[in-house]
Structure 1
Amino acid sequence: MESPIQQYLEQLLAEVQHLGAGAPYDVHPAGREPRPGDFGICLATVDGRVYSVGVADQEFSIQSISKPFSYGLALADYGFEAVDEKVDVEPSGDPFNQISLAPVTGRPPNAMVNAGALAVAGMIRGAGGKSGVRRIVDTYSRFAGRDLTSSRSVFDVEIRQSDRNHSLAYLLSSVGIIENDPTRALEVYLRQCAVQVSCRDLALMAATLANGGTQPLTGEQVFEIDVVERVLSVMMTSGMYDDAGAWVSSVGMPAKSGVGGGTLAVLPGQAGLAVFSPPLDGHGNSVRGLETCRRLSTDMEMHFVRSARNGRSAVRITREISELPSRVRRTEEEAEVLERHGHRARIVEVTGDLFFAGTESLVRAVSELEDTVDFVVLDLRQVYDAGRLARQMITALQRQLAAAGRELVLVTGEEAPSLTVTDDAGPESSAPAVYQGLGEAVEHCEDALLDRYGTPAAAPERVPVTDSPALAPLAGPERERLAELMEHRVHADGDVIRRVGQRFGGVHFIVAGRINTIATDPGGERVRLNTLGPGMTFGELALGTSDRQETTEKAVGDVELMVLTPEAIEALEAEDPGLALQLWRALTRDAYTLVDRYLREAAVRLTY
């Protein structure tokens, strides 16, 4: 099933594509003119899942998006104090190519403007047999998770158009910020700007920063966390140049743009975002890139203030309902159907908060389920807080599942936030079933599977005592004889048939209706252990507990029973010990079946 997040990105691409303002960067090699209509969006999570739409794999020049990565390399090489002596960390409020240095120190305001990037380029040296440029390209490649290259033709064009940058390099050299050949520093800077990347590359580079410097796909620690912390801090305040204030307030993610048409944004701990669209505004930022980031920040709740409330929310586990059977004791026929088709209902357990990261992991888990899964149970009892995005995405999942003849079931508990489907779910899909406990949700799915894949015989409304599975080992005449010894009893809805602590009251055979077995948990709360239906028995287990009833049995609706009383059992043992022995063998066999099931389900009951 296609992820609703993927669908959202496709819709966003179509809507933002119509923006026609701006013009592409006019410095480029002959025959490589940017196409204004090119547009791609990529979103990469910190565990390596990449969502992409549009022109996601076409290469373009990284340009100024290179600045934070080279800045990080310099910090890793020299340490913070040495780099801070060359480049400050203050937002400038000036255009990216402003010729302006601090009046006393001569330092550029930050590493995101051209003057600061030139100062950083002047610091990076060769090492280990590799030139400074080679080390820069290798660093970018480690962030992207693949080998990148710097375009010679792009460099040749840029160097001929770099009088302003050349003057900045000489100005920095005149005040001692660039200590070696300023032209060499300029060449290093332009070669890093000429590195060719795709939108997907940038998304993974951003996700590596979001992941504390660890590349999500390769697992390589490219930068240490203290370097990442500094880089993202400067990106937040200065990455979008003289538009940084508006960016922080409206988008709220550390970001960097480039005149090549790329835009990169980082949601720390969660995801990296990249957009490629060549038309630029007056600040040198991609017009569609800005709008896409604003829309995503709002719609996906990716502003740092909202996302800061979110821990590492995640899907904790998914499993088939056959691993967590309901409290309803099924007949042999029903058990066979559920054993055969239990994989068609899956429980997805989520913990933490449902903002961007948690919602993405939930959506991914459901979207990647096999098409053979007919029923999806979202166990949200350990969700503590949820945003608008979670509700919207659950709505989208509900629509898609319903359209395919599948069903979404929610388990919310008493304290979990409301996550019912929003009002705009549309007439084509009804609201999902919502339960307070997992047991009730599993029971719902079991009943639905039995309706869909079972037979009428698998769910009988009435089972004569002579057809009881507990008496199946006996011959027909022997079952008839036992039936003659039983008392016929009826109970109304809510009647307590057997109460905890009562002495053994006989073996009760359910002919019609249902019985809830109720016990007291360690906290003193009354809980339902299971539900018994036609053809099942209760009461006999009291014989193994000092002749005392350990649970309360309560009628659910009208109930019809046949009861083999203690007196009838005593008379049978005196008059026909052979039949009495066969009866006890049959009941023992049935009891062992029950005990085996209870042992397998004991841990499950605690989660219900």
Structure 2
Amino acid sequence: MNQPLAISPVQQYLERLHAELQTVSAGEIASYIPELTRADPDWLGIALVTVDGHVYQVGDSRQPFTVQSISKAVSYGLALEDRGLDAVLSKVGVEPTGEAFNSISLEPDTGRPLNPMINAGAIATTGLIEHEDGVDPLQHLLEAFRRYCGRELSIDEAVYRSESETGHRNRAIAHLLYGHGILDRRPEEVVDLYFRQCSMLVTARDLALMGACLANGGVNPVSGIVALKSDWVHRVLSIMSTCGMYDFSGGWIFNVGMPAKSGVGGGIMAVLPGQFGLGVFSPRLDDKGNSVRGIRVCERVSRDFGLHMFNVAQGTSASVIRRGYDCGQAPSRRRRGDLQQRWLQQHGERIRVLELQGQLLFGSAESVALQVLGALDDAEALIVDLKRLIDMDQASAGLLGDLCAKAQASGSYLFFTECRHLYPFRRHLQKSVIASQTPDWLVFDETDRALEWCESALLLQAGLPEAEGQGPALESQYLFAGFDEAELDAVRAAGAVQRFAPDTLIVKVGEPADCLYAILEGEAEVWVRTEEWPGKGGRLRLTTLGPATVFGEIGLLSDQDRTANVTAQSAMVCLQVPFAALDDALCAKMLVNLAAHFAEMLKRNARLLQYLA
């Protein structure tokens, strides 16, 4: 019998919170729009959507209600996209008023509304929304909401008519704005669009998803669609922080500490940038027009989880730098000849790796930059592994980009690896960094590939290239150490020289392990298929093999089939030796060398594990 799935702690928390606040009965339903009085005062819906796209909801989270003033945040972002910042600022300011939402707060000389969250500013903002010829501006606005909510929204025609029949003050505001030159379209046209905008039907889940779009840099975390260009997200959130909760905005940011927007329909949309969007619906309002239980929900979430946006964790190099090591402590997975391995063990400090984690902000980035500079003074190559870095801000990208020029000036190599998820950083390096390096700073996706390249470059510089003094000779292969010339001749006679073109599959998983291959020239990659590695086409590289190495020799110990694939990375020359063609004395001597090789590998791995632990 299947066991029930565990309930998320977030879901459990929201259910407890909903149960606790369900009994709160303070506040009154908005009555100045008659149709709003039809709402059930006991409705309470809560929804939370994370930037990873996880949706949690409880209570009346799917109960439709009219969005009202929460629409102002969406229309402001749309106006910024359509007209640009300068055009919008020339018509609408950004200053809080401390007055009611329907106050006529205009600058005395210009007639410009003080901010886009009061009705005067919202009407001016709606008037700024552009649309192509022949395209209904309402459809343009509805399309914007569709991107945020991931579905088509409809208009509550009854509420629209109610607002239109009673919205004389808003009509007066529109005409006043037209008289000051703030509106460039007919007042009746603009105010009608504004009434329809406020009458769109949403749910608490919709509000949470809208907030999650803003928390996620403008991208809908469920659909992946861009709801608002990232350039404008911080502008919208700034206005929501200072002006979003009517004349309670100061108390809100003091107590809750999240950008938010409320509506007299009973909804609140709150945003914790980089983390989640929170949507609450409860129709009972306080004397400032905000949902009583909605405020209580947001206050509790903020307090219970310490989510006030000014409770910022200290970003230091200690929290961002996961670890640093050199290739003597943790070499690449490439198997090399004994001479090369011993040399790298002795000189490994000349290649260093720095692993970063978490979020890189300016303060911690400055400390990281100093550590990188210190490493570049002592090492000839530095690899900065960004696989575990969640994000970095613009300042951090700039500081790391500056290190490229310093690395070039010092004559050291610098590589940034495992950073495909950090697109803004990659774009900054590609477009803004003047310095250049061959290979490029970003050429290696995997840290191990970069480490392998640096090792090979260092060996070449030291006069110890892979093929030095090896060629077709078998003496350099560990498996034939201590063999005299007659024994080596016997091995050669038992085998045959094989040549493989690049990308040839030499060994395949499941084949009989009946022979070994001694690499004389070229390189091969050992790999397996795994569903855990979808980003690499399901192909996980285990190691790289070059001259003076052997593969397939484990078949000497067991008659089990092959457990990994081997593919030629370049043109290869190998001596293929069938086990059946070897006499017992040769096999016994190979087994002794194989045991010694395994013992050395165990010692190296023990040192590595001791270091990593």
Instruction: Name the counterpart of 1:155.
Output: 160
Specify the alignment match of 2:264 in structure 1.
Answer: 259
State the distance in 2 between where 1:183 and 1:235 align: 27
Change (3 A) 1:78 1:3: same
Amino acid at match of 1:204: L
Q: Displacement, 1:276? A: 0.7
> How far is 1:33 from its partner?
1.4
The C-alpha deviation readout for 1:216-272, integer Å capped at 9, x for no partner, is: 112222222221111111111111121111111111111100011100111111111
1:205-284 matches, within 5 Å, as: 205-284=210-289
| Offset of residue 26 of structure 1 | 2.7
1:141 to 146, 167, 174: 146
The answer to whether the 8 Å contact 1:29/1:153 transfers is no
The residue that corresponds to 1:103 in the other structure is 108
Q: What is the CA–CA distance in structure 2 between the aligned matches of 1:604 and 1:28, rounded to whole Å?
A: 70
Match of 1:445 in 2: none
- In the other structure, the counterpart of 2:19 is 14
Q: Is the 8 A contact 1:137 1:150 kept in 2?
A: no
1:305 aligns to what SS in structure 2? coil
Q: Is the 8 A contact 1:125 1:131 kept in 2?
A: no
1:27–1:157 contact (8 Å) kept in structure 2: no
Quote the Cα distance in structure 1 between the aligned partners of 2:285 and 2:37.
17
Query: Aligned partners of 1:604 and 1:32: how far apart in 2?
Result: 68
User: Is 2:137 the counterpart of 1:127?
Assistant: no
User: Aligned equivalents of 1:184 and 1:30: distance in 2?
Assistant: 22
- In 2, Cα distance between the equivalents of 1:191 and 1:602? 70
Cα distance in 2 between the residues matched to 1:38 and 1:60: 11
Structure 2 distance, partners of 1:25, 1:189, is 19
Matches within 5 A, 1:17-96: 17-26=22-31, 33-96=38-101
Q: 2:126 & 2:44 partners in 1: Cα distance?
A: 30
Provide the secondary structure at the position in 2 that maps to 1:304.
Answer: coil
2:506 corresponds in structure 1 to none
Correspondences of 1:313-462 after superposition (within 5 Å): 352=358
Partner of 1:301: 306
Residues 9 and 307 of structure 1: CA distance in aligned 2, closer, same or farther (over 3 Å): farther
Identity among equivalent pairs (%): 46
Distance of 2:202 and 2:608 partners within structure 1: 52
Deviation at 1:96, TM superposition (A): 0.1
**Which residue identity lines up with residue 107 of structure 1 in the other structure?**
R
Matches within 5 A, 1:178-189: 178-189=183-194
What's the counterpart of residue 8 of structure 2? 3
Cα distance change, pair 180–352 in 1 and its aligned pair in 2 (3 A): closer
Contact (CA 8 Å) 2:264, 2:290: kept in 1 or not?
yes
Alignment pair present for 1:175 and 2:180: yes
Question: Structure 2 regions of 5+ residues with no counterpart?
Answer: 1-5, 323-355, 360-387, 390-588
Q: Which letter maps to 2:64? A: E
Q: State the alpha-carbon separation in 1 of the partners of residues 606 and 174 from structure 2.
A: 73
Q: Of the candidates 183, 200, 208, which is equivalent to residue 205 of structure 2?
A: 200
Deviations 1:295-339 (A, max 9, x none): 11111111111146579x99x9xxxxxxxxxxxxxxxxxxxxxxx
Q: Tell me how many residue pairs correspond in the alignment.
A: 351
CA offset at residue 121 of structure 1? 1.2
Q: How far apart in 2 are the matches of 1:27 and 1:599?
A: 78
Measured at CA, do residues 47 and 185 of structure 1 come closer, stay the same or move farther in structure 2, by a change above 3 Å? same
1:27 is displaced (CA, Å) by: 5.7
Larger deviation: 595-604 or 220-229? 595-604
**How many angstroms apart in 2 are the aligned matches of 1:64 and 1:199?**
14
Counterpart amino acid of residue 18 in structure 2: L
Paired with 1:588 and 1:221, the residues of 2 have a C-alpha distance of: 60
**C-alpha distance in 1, partners of 2:281/2:203?**
8
Shift of 1:162: 0.5
Q: C-alpha distance in 1, partners of 2:182/2:45? A: 38
CA distance in 1, matches of 2:295, 2:312: 19
Task: Output the amino acid matched with 2:258.
Answer: M
1:259–1:286 contact (8 Å) kept in structure 2: yes
- CA distance in 2: counterparts of 1:19 and 1:156, whole angstroms: 31
Query: In structure 2, the residue corresponding to 1:41 is in which secondary structure?
Result: strand
Provide Cα deviations, 1:333-378, integer angstroms capped at 9, x if missing partner. Answer: xxxxxxxxxxxxxxxxx9648xxxxxxxxxxxxxxxxxxxxxxxxx
Equivalent residue, structure 2, for 1:333? none
Structure 1 unpaired stretches of 5+: 317-349, 354-381, 384-583
Give the aligned residue type for 1:171.
L
CA distance in 2, matches of 1:39, 1:205: 18
In 2, distance between residues paired with 1:72 and 1:122?
13
